[in-house]
Structure 1
Amino acid sequence: GGTPGRIPDLPILDLPSIRFTETPWCSPIKVKHGNANCRTPQGEYYKNVLGTRCYIRCQKGYDLHGPQQLICQSNKRWSGKVFCKQKRCPTLSMPPNGGFKCLDGAYFNSRCEYYCSPGYQLKGERTVMCMDNKIWSGRPASCVDTEPPRIQCPSVKEKTAEPNKLTARVFWESPEGRDTADGILTDVVLKGLPPGSHFSEGDHKIQYTVYDRAGNKGTCKFFIKVRVRRCGKLNAPENGYIKCSGDGDNYGATCEFSCIGGYELQGSPARVCQYNLGWSGPEPTCTPMNINVGVRTAAALLDQFYEKRRLLIISTPTAANFFYRLQLGMLQPAQCGLDLRHVTVIELVGFFPAQIGRIGLKLLPPALALQLRLLLRIPHYNFNMVVVDKHGMDKERYPFPATSAELFTLIDTFPLRKDEMKLQAEAGQSCT
């Protein structure tokens, strides 16, 4: 829009107002085989002003030595020194009966090619390369003869375990190998138990491996079979336990039987596995205890429970007593837990001579019920409950109703109870 040939007017600069703050401070960064990505504090033109941060990276095939970040400091020096060093793989080992040639030694991207001496064949990768992770690609080659040595194992062995044992001792001649190449074997390796060992029941794999000087191997294998004479497993009687020696049913094993509290053993307490693969003695059973309520004394009544059952004695002045009815209500759904803990409940109701005692469906004569109260010093005129252990010891008294959980927690602390719980856990007995 101006006159042709006329130079347009330029704006007049106010030179005093320009502030030269972008003065180079540190020397420029030069990283051989790498580069620096620098950021100035306020976007200045020069990349080496005070406060500049430079992030250093090396080219592929090189490792950074020094910090990844440098800062231009007030002393006009960078905060550290860095350089990029060419990556190098471990020196390759020379294969026996051969060698290798490399284009660039053991440095990154170098390729090495293996070769073998006349009469040997190459096994493995012919060419490997030094990778960026400083590991050679591929598996280093070796030069070997490919004919494996030969070895022959003995025939299959079968043995029967000795009486009352679960093992058999087995012997055999160790096989010798033969190499078809140079006739020299470097090693014979046995996998499995050596000759003369005791072998357990079942099949055992025995394997021999021989090696020649070139690394070839030859193998052979056979099986040792051990059989155990067995009578067949016995089961615990219902409401009882079984404990067997040995493996439980091998020739010579003994099984012992016992019953849970409140049951008595009928039949053989122990049976032995015989040579004819049959068990000695008749099969045992556990029958419920027959509680005799016709005894003359309370002590005689309690003796019947000694080491067999625990007692929970509930005493009440009347069958209409609130605590008594509440206690029975709490115990009714806990019958399984009581049985599991071998607890028999005895109820003492009323005053003499009208009082009665009850064990399940059996009634105690009034005189016997009175004796029981006197023997255990149980008050007649109010609710009371007594826990007696298997040794007849008075363990706890309750003047008020107790929950089944409270009773079970107490009983589970008794010494005999620990062994019972272990047996019940093994037998899978529980309340579901």
Structure 2
Amino acid sequence: FDTWYELFMLICSESHKSDSGCSLKTDPYWCHPPGLTNGEVTCHSPRGRAYRSTLGTRCQMSCDRGYKLLGRRSIMCLANRSWSGTAYCRSIVCYLKIFITSHSYWPGIIKSVQFTCSLIATLTGVVNFIHCYYFVITVVFYLHDFVFHSVRRCPELFPPLHGYLSCSSDGSNYGAMCEYHCEGGHERRGVSSRVCQFNRSWGGDPAECVPIEIKADVKTAPALLDQFYEKRRLLIVSAPNMSDPDYQLQNIMIQKADCGLALRHVTVIELLGSPPRETGRIKESLLQPQVIEGLRISRSYFSMVLLDELGLDRERFISPVGSDELFSYIDSFLLDEEEREKLELRSDFCD
């Protein structure tokens, strides 16, 4: 299926043909219209422009200049009449405090700053005078033994187990913000970020990265797929039975590639056989028969379907694929630049 919405609506139409309640999901106001103070919300619905908040509508969040987006950049209207996440725009405030202990050199300092910044502008053709003044005054004050600014620092913030931090500034200055991120197979529990406060302490409590808990005993395919939305990619392997030679070969290669798949945030779902003996599982957890049928993937022949984090069908394979070929496709077409950089740093993690 090309989108989560199509999957929802197909399952809905098949399982509720006589149920008028299903048609409510086409309500143009299925979810409350989203708003974003000091920002902009751009929505696109699979049903057209008249449906700005119906089931399956996806909205992109962006902030005005001078504001930073905290939270989800993309949200979707879900079947439970709520959006898949929240966001808000926080004002970006820069603090510059200059403390001067002696004024005898002040005229000379101003003259030096003006001369230096003008020289930079002459040589480069362009100069940001605010940044230039900040830099040159810092140097001049240092040379003249002035106290230019007092840096307030917080204690070192350590990354969580199975996670890492990305921080602004140098990571511990007053006003610096550190965001928590979790590695593949784990999700954040707690705050998404912490800010170094004026009292030299970090706001909020430390977050932790815990293993993602997938509930395999859900009753519908959408309920299963919702757990992976914007968190994990899916590799769905299907075959007539466990003795299928293509399945057996692919299963061996997947077991060897388990570490690499985890680094790329890929979860494997196996679908085997036909009713009444069909089997579906995620590792050791078995899926309900109605969930297997709801995924609408044939098990009459071997195949693999690769879905991205938004649930989009990105590639299909009808014969076994080695880990090198599979990883090459994922790295080239599914990972963003930041993920590729992190993957490069962990290149020997699975050796």
What TM-score do you get using the length of structure 1 for normalisation? 0.48
- The alignment status of 1:259 with 2:182, answered yes or no, reads yes
Q: Which residue of 2 aligns with 1:206?
A: 143
CA separation in 2, counterparts of 1:300 and 1:309?
A: 15
Q: Which residue of 1 aligns with 2:339?
A: 420
Q: Which residue of 2 aligns with 1:382?
A: 301
- The alignment status of 1:335 with 2:266, answered yes or no, reads no
Structure 1's 279 and 205: CA in aligned 2 closer, same or farther, altered over 3 A? Answer: closer
Structure 1's 379 and 415: CA in aligned 2 closer, same or farther, altered over 3 A? Answer: closer
Kept in 2: contact 1:274–1:280 (CA 8 A) = yes
Q: Which residue of 2 aligns with 1:234?
A: 157
- Residue 164 of structure 1 deviates from its aligned partner by 6.1
Structure 1's 343 and 203: CA in aligned 2 closer, same or farther, altered over 3 A? Answer: farther
Kept in 2: contact 1:348–1:355 (CA 8 A) = yes
- Name the amino acid aligned to 2:190: G
- Residue 387 of structure 1 deviates from its aligned partner by 0.7
Q: Deviations over 1:167-210 (max 9, x none)?
A: 745454239xxxxxxxxxxxxxx89x99xx64698997527xxx
- Give runs of aligned pairs for residues 150-165 of structure 1, distance below 5 A: 165=95
- Name the amino acid aligned to 1:411: I
CA separation in 1, counterparts of 2:198 and 2:140?
A: 23
CA separation in 2, counterparts of 1:319 and 1:394?
A: 24
Q: Which residue of 2 aligns with 1:186?
A: none
- Name the amino acid aligned to 1:206: L
* CA RMSD, 1 decimal: 3.3
- Residue 227 of structure 1 deviates from its aligned partner by 4.2
- Name the amino acid aligned to 2:321: A
SS of corresponding position for 2:316: strand
- Residue 408 of structure 1 deviates from its aligned partner by 1.0
CA separation in 1, counterparts of 2:146 and 2:185?
A: 52
Kept in 2: contact 1:411–1:417 (CA 8 A) = no
Kept in 2: contact 1:318–1:350 (CA 8 A) = yes
CA separation in 2, counterparts of 1:319 and 1:345?
A: 15
- Name the amino acid aligned to 2:188: L
- Name the amino acid aligned to 1:429: R
- Residue 326 of structure 1 deviates from its aligned partner by 0.8
The percentage of aligned residue pairs carrying the same residue is: 44
CA separation in 1, counterparts of 2:347 and 2:258?
A: 12
Q: Which residue of 2 aligns with 1:362?
A: 285
Task: Give the number of equivalent residue pairs.
Answer: 236
CA separation in 2, counterparts of 1:352 and 1:172?
A: 88
Q: Which residue of 1 aligns with 2:104?
A: 173
Structure 1's 430 and 358: CA in aligned 2 closer, same or farther, altered over 3 A? Answer: same
Kept in 1: contact 2:165–2:180 (CA 8 A) = yes
Q: Deviations over 1:66-118 (max 9, x none)?
A: xxxxxxxxxxxxxxxxxxxxxxxxxxxxxxxxxxxxxxxxxxxxxxxxxxxxx
Kept in 2: contact 1:202–1:226 (CA 8 A) = no
CA separation in 2, counterparts of 1:201 and 1:358?
A: 62
CA separation in 2, counterparts of 1:323 and 1:242?
A: 41
Structure 1's 261 and 167: CA in aligned 2 closer, same or farther, altered over 3 A? Answer: farther
- Residue 418 of structure 1 deviates from its aligned partner by 2.7
CA separation in 2, counterparts of 1:250 and 1:256?
A: 15
Q: Deviations over 1:193-238 (max 9, x none)?
A: 99xx64698997527xxxxxxxxxxxxxx57575411002323323
Kept in 2: contact 1:239–1:286 (CA 8 A) = yes
Kept in 2: contact 1:265–1:287 (CA 8 A) = yes
Q: Which residue of 1 aligns with 2:239?
A: 316
Of 219, 223, 226, the residue aligned with 1:296 is 219
- Residue 263 of structure 1 deviates from its aligned partner by 2.7
Kept in 1: contact 2:237–2:268 (CA 8 A) = yes
- Residue 275 of structure 1 deviates from its aligned partner by 2.2
- The alignment status of 1:429 with 2:349, answered yes or no, reads no
When you count helix as a share of all residues, which structure comes out higher?
A: 2
User: Structure 2: any 5+ residue segments left out of the alignment?
Assistant: 1-92, 107-111, 117-132
- Name the amino acid aligned to 1:174: Y
- Name the amino acid aligned to 2:172: D
Structure 1's 166 and 238: CA in aligned 2 closer, same or farther, altered over 3 A? Answer: farther
CA separation in 2, counterparts of 1:227 and 1:272?
A: 18
Kept in 1: contact 2:162–2:209 (CA 8 A) = yes
Of 267, 290, 300, the residue aligned with 1:344 is 267
Structure 1's 257 and 166: CA in aligned 2 closer, same or farther, altered over 3 A? Answer: farther
Kept in 1: contact 2:219–2:288 (CA 8 A) = no
Which gives a bigger RCO, structure 1 or 2 (Cα 8 Å, sep 6+)? Answer: 2
Kept in 1: contact 2:216–2:224 (CA 8 A) = yes
- Residue 262 of structure 1 deviates from its aligned partner by 3.9
- The alignment status of 1:283 with 2:191, answered yes or no, reads no
- Residue 348 of structure 1 deviates from its aligned partner by 1.1
User: Structure 1: any 5+ residue segments left out of the alignment?
Assistant: 1-162, 176-189, 208-221
Structure label with greater radius of gyration: 1
- Name the amino acid aligned to 1:399: I
- Name the amino acid aligned to 1:359: I
Q: Deviations over 1:276-314 (max 9, x none)?
A: 211111100111221111222112211211111111111
